[in-house]
Amino acid sequence: MIFSLLAGCADAGTFVKENYPLIDVQGKGKSTAKIYVAEGKTVPEAAKEIADADKPQEISKESTEQMFLVYSDKIINIHKDPNNENNSLIEWDTVEYAKEHYDSSFLQGYITASLLQSLFGGGWFNSRSPYDYRGYNPPPKYNNPVNNTGNVQRPQPTPSANSSSTPPPSTSERKGSFGSKPSTGSTSSSSNMKRNDGSTPNYKTSGVGSQKPTTGKRSGSFSKRR
């Protein structure tokens, strides 16, 4: 019932705005295209809904791929959503936007030449659009999962068969301090002692528990050399 009431009192622009979600806007000012999505509707179904709400001056031949509805101040281009075949895209073009972007040879495949001439003027047929425009082409959908923080989650690489299953710790996980290489054996404190004349003993320690060698006892007497 609500749909019938809307269809009886709304023009095409208002009807599209109130019944389909807006997904993008192209251009600005008098040269503007507004793109809406008709979810779960084929191109003929969406075209019929809009035409029932506001009868166009001309409607193109029924097609499951693309249809046009022509009004005095706008052209509505309805075509299948390339990202979802169950949806249709509804492009609401101002006359100026359609004149600047569509090629005459393309539109004449859907709309009569006399009507196009009355909308765009005779000079439009002698010029070709540099855009080769057929209608709004949405960007491909981004399918990477998003976590609760809004960051894209990328899969972690699988370790190879030759790599260790336990990753090396980061610098922050290592404990202890770095210093010089320890000696292989303990050194007696006497190695740091000096003789009374200031020289250092030339003996070496032999390991843990080693002691300074002592001078053996000698027997006999000394006499002066003659």
Domain boundaries, the chain: 2-126
Least confident of 16-20, 44-48, 212-216: 212-216
Provide the terminal-to-terminal Cα distance of the chain, rounded to the nearest Å.
146
Show the DSSP H helices in 92-216 as ranges.
Answer: 95-101, 104-107, 113-120
Distance in angstroms (rounded) separating the CA atoms of residues 43 and 217? 120
Distance in angstroms (rounded) separating the CA atoms of residues 151 and 164? 29
Residue 25 pLDDT > 90: yes
Does pTM surpass 0.85? no
Least confident of 2-16, 27-41, 63-77, 88-102: 2-16
Which CA distances in Å does 149 have to 23, 143, 156, 184?
24, 17, 18, 55
